[in-house]
């Protein structure tokens, strides 16, 4: 079988219905790098529901209308979108936000040399939004209290186990369908390395999926707060990745405070409180400051042996 060409030519014409390409706007000043922009918005390499490249981004999502696949792309000086499946028009309605064209990066204008040195490397980095809140919530729940590599492995195995191909030409898979999740026995989650607590939260979100997909903004955050197992760490990921909140800082993360502290002071270890003090001058744009810091490649200093991964049953 011939490999799929993720960046196959797309003619920017049509009326935006279904899989006919829709022009979303011009490329923003400074460019638009999909790999940098969307890198943190999914579980990482190997995610069967997502493909990201510098000029193309594909994602399979569940919508109120059913399955859908959104393809965002840059061709010349234009940003475009097309979508496939029953949820195509729902996804296209949210495509400008998903393509990060609603972001306002010019509001972050740091003058400190440490940030100015990064500017050239982050010109195409913007804060995008996932079209469906489930795209953020479901993999984030699997990342609660475990290593990233464990969460990624469980997500990939669950997606493969539900075995639903995404609509459209791209070889993508659908995330677990909420209605099927509600009929799934608990042992299936355990078989893919998901403990009872995370599995319970995963199921609870799927039980409220229809409502979650129908609200946005503050109403969405308030609804999530009422779901058992959704705490500040998960809410911050939703605010950042789904709502595009430039001030959403993830508190309670194992690695992030150390990376931020090392960027500002060189110290190998920092706390959440110290991280928030470092970011206080950038109130309103703290999430963007963190994204710049992460793009710089700074990481925490490791001491001693690494914690072994839990073995999935």
Per-residue pLDDT of 269-279, as tens digits, reads 999 999 999 99
Query: In this predicted structure, what is the pLDDT of residue 14?
Result: 45
CA distances from 142 to 73, 153, 242, 257 (A): 29, 10, 17, 21
Of the pLDDT bands very low, low, confident and very high (cuts 50, 70, 90), residue 44 is low
Strands, sheet with 78-84, edge to edge from the N-terminal-most edge strand: 22-26, 78-84, 66-75, 56-63, 50-52
Of the pLDDT bands very low, low, confident and very high (cuts 50, 70, 90), residue 30 is confident
- Res. 89: pLDDT tops 50: yes
- What's the mean pLDDT in 173-180? 97
- What's the mean pLDDT in 88-99? 96
Query: In this predicted structure, what is the pLDDT of residue 302?
Result: 59
Query: In this predicted structure, what is the pLDDT of residue 301?
Result: 58
Query: In this predicted structure, what is the pLDDT of residue 265?
Result: 94
Q: What is the mean pLDDT of the chain?
A: 90
The pairs formed by 174-177 with CB atoms below 8 angstroms and a separation of 24 or more are: 174/49, 174/60, 174/62, 174/67, 175/49, 175/60, 175/61, 175/62, 175/134, 175/135, 175/138, 176/138, 176/206, 177/62
Separation of alpha carbons 295 and 124, rounded Å: 11
- Within 8 A by CB and 6+ apart from 119, the residues are none
Query: In this predicted structure, what is the pLDDT of residue 313?
Result: 30
Of the pLDDT bands very low, low, confident and very high (cuts 50, 70, 90), residue 46 is confident
Report CA 50 to chain centroid distance, whole Å.
10
Separation of alpha carbons 218 and 308, rounded Å: 39
- Within 8 A by CB and 6+ apart from 46, the residues are 152, 156
- What's the mean pLDDT in 231-238? 95
Separation of alpha carbons 307 and 84, rounded Å: 42
Query: In this predicted structure, what is the pLDDT of residue 309?
Result: 44
Query: In this predicted structure, what is the pLDDT of residue 200?
Result: 98
128 with 40: CB under 8 angstroms? Answer: no
Query: In this predicted structure, what is the pLDDT of residue 43?
Result: 59
- What's the mean pLDDT in 281-302? 87
Pick from 28-32, 211-215, 280-284: least confident: 28-32
- What's the mean pLDDT in 278-304? 86
- What's the mean pLDDT in 209-219? 96
Give which of 170, 173, 87, 165 is closest to 131, Cα–Cα: 87
Query: In this predicted structure, what is the pLDDT of residue 5?
Result: 86
CA distances from 292 to 3, 113, 126 (A): 34, 13, 10
- What's the mean pLDDT in 83-107? 95
Q: Which tens digits make up the pLDDT trace of 7-25?
A: 876 766 544 445 678 999 9
What tokens does 187 get? Answer: 């042992």
Separation of alpha carbons 75 and 33, rounded Å: 12
Give which of 53, 57, 54 is closest to 69, Cα–Cα: 57
Pick from 76-90, 114-128, 188-202: least confident: 114-128
């Amino acid at each position: 079988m011939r490999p799929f060409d993720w960046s196959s030519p797309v003619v920017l014409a049509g009326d935006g219905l279904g899989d006919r390409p829709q022009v979303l706007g011009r490329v923003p000043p400074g460019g638009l790098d999909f790999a940098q922009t969307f890198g943190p918005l999914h579980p990482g390499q190997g995610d069967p529901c997502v493909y990201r490249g510098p000029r193309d981004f594909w994602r399979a999502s569940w919508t109120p209308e059913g399955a859908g696949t959104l393809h965002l792309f840059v061709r010349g000086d234009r940003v475009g979108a097309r979508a496939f499946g029953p949820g195509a028009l729902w996804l296209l309605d949210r495509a400008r936000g998903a393509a990060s064209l609603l972001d306002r990066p010019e509001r972050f204008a740091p003058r400190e040399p440490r940030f100015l040195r990064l500017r050239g490397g982050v010109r195409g980095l913007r804060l995008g939004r996932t079209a469906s809140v489930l795209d953020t919530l479901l993999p984030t729940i699997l990342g609660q209290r475990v290593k990233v590599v464990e969460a990624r492995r469980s997500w990939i195995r669950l997606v493969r186990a539900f075995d639903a191909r995404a609509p459209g030409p791209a070889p993508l898979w659908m995330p677990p369908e909420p209605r099927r999740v509600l009929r799934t026995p608990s042992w299936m989650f355990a078989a893919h390395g998901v403990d009872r607590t995370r599995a319970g939260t995963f199921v609870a979100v799927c039980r409220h999926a229809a409502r979650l997909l129908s609200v946005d903004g503050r109403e969405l955050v308030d609804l999530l707060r009422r779901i058992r197992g959704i705490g500040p760490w998960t809410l911050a990921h939703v605010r950042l990745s789904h709502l595009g909140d430039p001030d959403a800082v993830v508190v309670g993360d194992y690695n992030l405070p150390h990376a931020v502290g090392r960027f500002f002071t060189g110290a190998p270890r920092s706390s959440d409180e110290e991280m928030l003090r470092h970011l206080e001058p950038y109130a309103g744009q703290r999430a963007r400051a963190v994204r710049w810091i992460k793009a710089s490649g700074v990481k925490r200093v490791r001491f001693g042996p690494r914690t072994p991964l839990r073995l999935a049953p």
